[in-house]
Amino acid sequence: MPKPVLWFTLYCLAEMGAYGRGIQISTTSLAEKLELSQQSASRHLIELEHLGLIERHITARGELIQITNKGVEELRRVHLGLNTVLEKPTPTFLTFEGEVFSGLGEGAYYISLRGYRRQIVKKLGFDPYLGTLNLKLTSKIDIQTRKELDVYLGIVLEGFENETRSYGPAKCFKALINNAVEGAVVTAFRTHYDESVLEVIAPVYLRTRLNLKDGDKVQVKVFILRSPEFSA
């Protein structure tokens, strides 16, 4: 979590449209909105950039500011917290629809590692098929929803290291694929690769079990744990 003052500046930027389309603004006008000096606005932007929460392109007449995925995550975290506090119903599951595509087989590699595999058996309750089903999310709303996963509590697979290298932690959610097979969705922890992809694992080979080929549509129901995580 960034410091409250910085979070607030980030929030202000978002209100002005820096999420998505991005905005062009001068530090002076930002300062007015924040009720701070031009110098402080400038410093805040520098610090937010260093934290990786915004991207900037400084031009002659102001700067182009865009909130990064990491930045949106910080906003989303508080949003979820407020949802809970203000008694907005928190979903118990999220549904996605994606198209099957072939990855490069890294999924299979990671799952085959004993460090991960043993945790999957223990924490998810099944011995995974050694491969992942990659789903490309196409609708805008699904991609949007996908990002919400980042701030929900999931089942954590701890990072570990073997002789060769070290492996980071990952976050899983139990899931139901095509309303038929129980499995899980796996997301790397705090690594922002492609936000429009869902990686699914299951105890069985999903392609044969569900008779899938590239381009087929698949529905996934992802189960959320109650409260949003709240930590740095």
Partner DNA sequence: ATTACTAATCATCGAGTAA
Partner DNA sequence: TTTACTCGATGATTAGTAA
Q: Name the residues that contact DNA, by CB under 7 A.
A: 3, 5, 25-29, 36-40, 42-46, 58, 60-63
Under 8 Å between Cβ of 124 and 156 = no
CA distance 60 to 58: 7
CA distance 178 to 211: 11
Give the nearest distance from C-beta 4 to a second copy in angstroms: 4
In the range 54-73, which residues lie near a second copy by CB under 8 A? Answer: 72
Instruction: CB nearer to a second copy: give 18 or 222.
Output: 18
Partner whose footprint covers residue 15, from a second copy, DNA, none (CB < 5 to 8 Å by kind): a second copy
* Candidate list 19, 96, 110, 173; residue touching a second copy; CB under 8 A: 19
Partner whose footprint covers residue 176, from DNA, a second copy, none (CB < 5 to 8 Å by kind): none
Contacts of 43 (CB under 8 A, 6+ apart): none
Instruction: CB nearer to DNA: give 5 or 141.
Output: 5
Give the nearest distance from C-beta 35 to DNA in angstroms: 7
Which neighbouring-strand residues pair with 170? 157, 188
